[in-house]
Amino acid sequence: MTLDEYFKEEPKGAIIEMATYLGVSSTWLSLLIHGHKVPSPKLAMKIERATSGLVSRKVLRPDIFLD
């Protein structure tokens, strides 16, 4: 699942809540969601934890986290 798919299923305010948890701005998270930016490896792992594995680090950073 991508971040975009994940947030389509979440209630309003989920982006702000996740951004706060991750320690990034909601604008930065929005850029990640829409594929305009790529998360650092550390942030990709935090996103994976925050989504209970629904958005995996392998999807976020296939260049680093291989199967």
Span 31-39, mean pLDDT?
Answer: 95
Query: What is the identity of the amino acid at 4?
Result: D
Give the global pTM.
0.90
pLDDT > 90: percent of the chain? 91
Residue 66 in any domain: the answer is no
CA contacts within 13 A on the Cβ side of 23: 6
Count of structural domains, the chain: 1
Domain span at residue 33?
3-60
- Identify the band that residue 25 occupies on the pLDDT scale cut at 50, 70 and 90: very high
Residue 20 in any domain: the answer is yes
Q: Over the range 17-38, which residues count as b (16 or more CB within 10 Å of their CB) and which as e?
A: ebbeebebeeebbbebbeeeee
Residue 49 in any domain: the answer is yes
What is the model's pLDDT at position 10? 87
Residue 27 in any domain: the answer is yes
- Identify the band that residue 49 occupies on the pLDDT scale cut at 50, 70 and 90: very high
Residue 65 in any domain: the answer is no
Residue 67 in any domain: the answer is no
What is the model's pLDDT at position 67? 67
